Amino acid sequence: MNKNSWILYIGILVFGLVAPFIFPAFKVQLSILCVLIVLATTWNIQGGEMGYNTFGNILFYGLGMYLCASVQVGMFFPLAEWTESGGEKTFVHTPSQFFQGMAAGLVVAAVVPTIVAGLIGYAILGLRGHYFAICTLGLGVAAGEISGGIEIIGAGQGFTTPPFPNIGGLEARGEFFYFLSFGALVLTFIAVRAIYTTRFRLILNAIRDNEDKAEAMGIETMKYKITGWMISAFFCGLAGGIMGGLVGYIDSTDVAFDGREMGVFMVLMAILGGKGTLWGPIIGATLFHFFKEGFWTFFLGWQYVALGVLIVVIVIYFPEGLMGWLREKYPERFGEVVDEADRKAQVELK
Amino acid sequence: MDFLVFQYPMITIQACLDGLLLGILFALIAYGMALQWGVMNIINIAQGDLVILGGYIAYFMYLYGIHPAWGVIVSPIIMYFVGIAIYKLVINKVVDRDLFISILATFGISILFMQLMNFAFGADVVLANSGYGTTMLFDNNVVLPNSKIFSAFISIVFAICLVVYMKRSKLGRAIRATAQNARAAKILGVDTEKVYAATFGINAALCGVAGALISITFTIHPYMGLPYTIRSFMIVIVAGLGNLPGVAMSGMGLGIFEEFADYILGTEFRIGSVFLLLVLILVYRRFKLSKKREYLK
């Protein structure tokens, strides 16, 4: 790591810490952006580095969301009565109960999806290519449909997460969730960056490039695939838990297991930025968030139409994403050695 | 959970017959999916949305006073051109690319269609009433709407017509040749671009027929597309590409499974059980193949 990148990291960190005070009106948007970056970065571990294009990370996100809220409520009050009462607040969390519940909830929300990923990983990750993609798509939708039929977590009518305690009002709520999600983002970034400097990333890349050969070279691919998926699940669950508290309301198919929105968003963000790179998903998520908010503001009602068109355009015209495009344009900046004569010859050919 | 369905034989028969008739419809959609998958190597997530769009065409005929059964003639004709348009705009750019690209691109089309239909036709669950009445069997214990029987019959007719067309016509031969080896077909003078467009159009037309039948028999809603895609995908992977009797059989099997899941688990778990079944089938096949150190390709 050279001096420039340290300056960059510290600059971003400082910006992240002061951002909610500079843009106080955009706290919720910034928190959502952090969650989106976490999701895109963790999707990239599968889709970009490992070559397993999953629509199923939404499963862990939704699971984390439900678990966090359930633990937060269930620690102090009977869960069934809470969901029964719906929007009417018969139980009120005191501030200490709220924060304790949130902390415990986030731990559970991160750990349980990791275990789930480990358990189903052996079965699911044996599938390859589009079978894996469709299978995980099915998994996500099935989870949404099934959780929509379970009474104790609100079934079809949804689950209201505990409201933020009455200290400092909306400002404090926004700051709390912003710093929570920003913390998750920093944690994810450090973890992913650390992973990407190890042999683990090379193994994931080997699996992406040719799994049979990787196996023939003596790599226990299944072990690494499951580990990679568990890492994703950990951060997806965490992000889900935070998002549940931020949104304040959990619905099985529209918020938690929202394969049509969040499940596609994370894929799209990673592809837009450039999959298989560290910074690609981050840039992609930031750009995408701007696009999305623009659509939601200016094309209200038509946002899904715009989204559908955006997906098609990105997939057809920018399958390598922004980083891929930059890489093609400035290969030296990415550590590739370019022969000057060769490059000139290529330009002439064009 | 309740197992009432097994205690009364009449309910069992009812579920089986319902499932059978429903499954024939699924098989028709799956046939279209198998066709485009085999020929173009594309998995079309928007398949279900094409079905729903076809259904709305029949529904609109019904609204304007034409009997919705004519939808099975009109809907495929319109859908054929819709299919060609989708091919020209999007699919021809993803045909020889990575399969995931095609999945994602068609996912985009699916979202687009869903929302456009939502704007155009509203978010209500609608049904085109055919007024065909019902058939009573076994001392009035088993009730079968005639529209279901009609739709199963029409599906079979269309499937047979298509099989014959594929076997006999020039275009059918070209499609089969392209499916076997696109490059060799090109060398021998087949315009593969045209074949691809026609294949996608035929697939969309099949979806149109199925959609028109669904709008008569069941209900349609703009967001109901994805389950149909998943069902047809499931039927195709169980049957295998190019195995038409297999597609018919597994379609009916899926229909019966769904009816029983509906009775046993309750209607709210019906779609969930379909998706879960897909996961289970894939995992089962994966373990079966991994014994031979192979994987699903």
B182, two tokens: 């696109």
Closest to A142 (Cα-Cα) out of B231, B229, B275, B232: B275
| Interface touch B108/A124, C-beta < 8 Å | no
Give percent above pLDDT 90 in chain B: 4
Mean pLDDT to the nearest integer, A5-20? 83
- When the pLDDT of each residue in chain A is averaged and rounded to a whole number, the result is 82
Is A299 a residue whose pLDDT tops 80? no
- Residues of chain B positioned with their CB less than 8 A from the CB of A133: 99-100, 103
Q: What is the pLDDT of residue B123?
A: 76
- Residues of chain B positioned with their CB less than 8 A from the CB of A268: 104
Locate the chain A residue with the closest alpha carbon to B280. Answer: A135
Strands B142-145, B134-137: pairing kind: antiparallel
Using the structure block, give the residue that is written with the tokens 């009518």: A157
Mean pLDDT to the nearest integer, A172-187? 87
Assess contact for A21 and A216: CB atoms under 8 A: no
**Residue type at position A347:** V
Min distance A223 CA to chain B CA atoms (Å):
15
State the DSSP code for B267: G
Min distance B134 CA to chain A CA atoms (Å):
32
- Residues of chain B positioned with their CB less than 8 A from the CB of A131: 237, 282, 286, 296
Calpha distance A341→A53 (Å, rounded): 37
Neighbours of B188 (CB within 10 A): 10
Min distance B295 CA to chain A CA atoms (Å):
7
Min distance B97 CA to chain A CA atoms (Å):
10
Locate the chain A residue with the closest alpha carbon to B276. Answer: A142
Per residue in B69-110, pLDDT tens? 787 888 889 989 999 998 988 888 888 777 788 888 888 888
Mean pLDDT to the nearest integer, A32-49? 88
Instruction: Tell me the β-bridge partners of B143.
Output: B136
Q: What is the pLDDT of residue A77?
A: 76
Is A340 a residue whose pLDDT tops 80? no
Calpha distance A274→A287 (Å, rounded): 12
Write out the H or E segment, with its range, that includes residue A267: helix A262-273
Min distance A144 CA to chain B CA atoms (Å):
8
Calpha distance A267→A270 (Å, rounded): 5
The minimal CB distance from A316 to the residues B94, B110, B226 is found for: B94
B27, two tokens: 């098989």
- Could you tell me if A329 lies within 8 Å of chain B, comparing CB atoms? no
Calpha distance A42→B164 (Å, rounded): 50
A190-228 as b/e: b if 16+ CB within 10 A? eebeebbeeebbebbebbbeebeebeeeebebbebbbbb
Q: What is the pLDDT of residue B204?
A: 92
| Interface touch A315/B269, C-beta < 8 Å | no
What sign does the CA torsion over B279, B284, B290, B296 have? Answer: negative
Per residue in B33-59, pLDDT tens? 888 888 888 888 888 899 998 888 888
Backbone angles phi, psi at B142, to 5 degrees: -115, 125
Cα–Cα distances in angstroms (integers) from residue A66 to residues A165, A255, B22, B283, in the given order: 20, 10, 35, 26
Mean pLDDT to the nearest integer, B257-283? 83
What sign does the CA torsion over B185, B190, B194, B200 have? Answer: negative
- Residues of chain B positioned with their CB less than 8 A from the CB of A144: 272
A68, two tokens: 């966090």
Domain boundaries, chain A: 24-319
Name the CA dihedral angle for A299, A303, A306, A312, rounded to a multiple of 10 degrees. Answer: 170
Give percent above pLDDT 90 in chain A: 5
Min distance B261 CA to chain A CA atoms (Å):
13
- Could you tell me if A316 lies within 8 Å of chain B, comparing CB atoms? yes
Is A325 a residue whose pLDDT tops 60? yes
The minimal CB distance from B269 to the residues A129, A146, A264 is found for: A146
Angle between helices A57-74 and A27-44 in degrees, nearest 10: 130
Mean pLDDT to the nearest integer, A95-107? 85
- Could you tell me if A256 lies within 8 Å of chain B, comparing CB atoms? no
Locate the chain A residue with the closest alpha carbon to B86. Answer: A312
Closest to B231 (Cα-Cα) out of B250, B215, B218, B217: B250
Question: Lowest-pLDDT range, A53-62, A206-215, A261-270, A331-340?
Answer: A331-340
Q: What is the pLDDT of residue A88?
A: 58
| Interface touch A315/B297, C-beta < 8 Å | no
Assess contact for B17 and B144: CB atoms under 8 A: yes
The minimal CB distance from A123 to the residues B237, B271, B286 is found for: B286
The minimal CB distance from A139 to the residues B112, B119, B279 is found for: B279
Interface probe for A, chosen from B37, B87, B104, B289 (most Cβ of A below 10 Å), is: B104
- Residues of chain B positioned with their CB less than 8 A from the CB of A271: 104
Angle at A224 between CA A2 and CA A121, to 5 degrees: 130
Per residue in B142-182, pLDDT tens? 777 788 888 888 888 988 888 898 888 888 889 888 888 88
Angle at A1 between CA A20 and CA A227, to 5 degrees: 80
- Could you tell me if A150 lies within 8 Å of chain B, comparing CB atoms? no
Higher-confidence position of B81 and A264: B81
Q: How many C-alpha atoms does A240 have within 13 Å on its Cβ side?
A: 40
Interface probe for B, chosen from A128, A266, A312, A317 (most Cβ of B below 10 Å), is: A312
Neighbours of B8 (CB within 10 A): 11
The minimal CB distance from B111 to the residues A53, A129, A304 is found for: A304
Is B1 a residue whose pLDDT tops 60? no
Interface probe for B, chosen from A122, A125, A141 (most Cβ of B below 10 Å), is: A141
Write out the H or E segment, with its range, that includes residue A305: helix A303-317
| Interface touch A127/B295, C-beta < 8 Å | yes
- Could you tell me if A124 lies within 8 Å of chain B, comparing CB atoms? yes
Calpha distance B161→B209 (Å, rounded): 13
Question: Lowest-pLDDT range, A89-98, A173-182, A207-216, B201-210?
Answer: A89-98
Question: Lowest-pLDDT range, A11-20, A33-42, A251-260, B190-199?
Answer: A251-260
Is A189 a residue whose pLDDT tops 60? yes
Quote ipTM for the complex. Answer: 0.83
Assess contact for B213 and B151: CB atoms under 8 A: yes
A263-300 as b/e: b if 16+ CB within 10 A? bbbbbbbbbbbbbbbbebbbbbbbebbebbeebeeeee
What is the set of domains in chain B, with CATH numbers? 4-267 (1.10.3470)
Q: What is the pLDDT of residue A86?
A: 64
The minimal CB distance from B111 to the residues A155, A156, A308 is found for: A308
- Could you tell me if A149 lies within 8 Å of chain B, comparing CB atoms? yes
| Interface touch A308/B115, C-beta < 8 Å | yes
Is A350 a residue whose pLDDT tops 60? no
Is B279 a residue whose pLDDT tops 80? yes
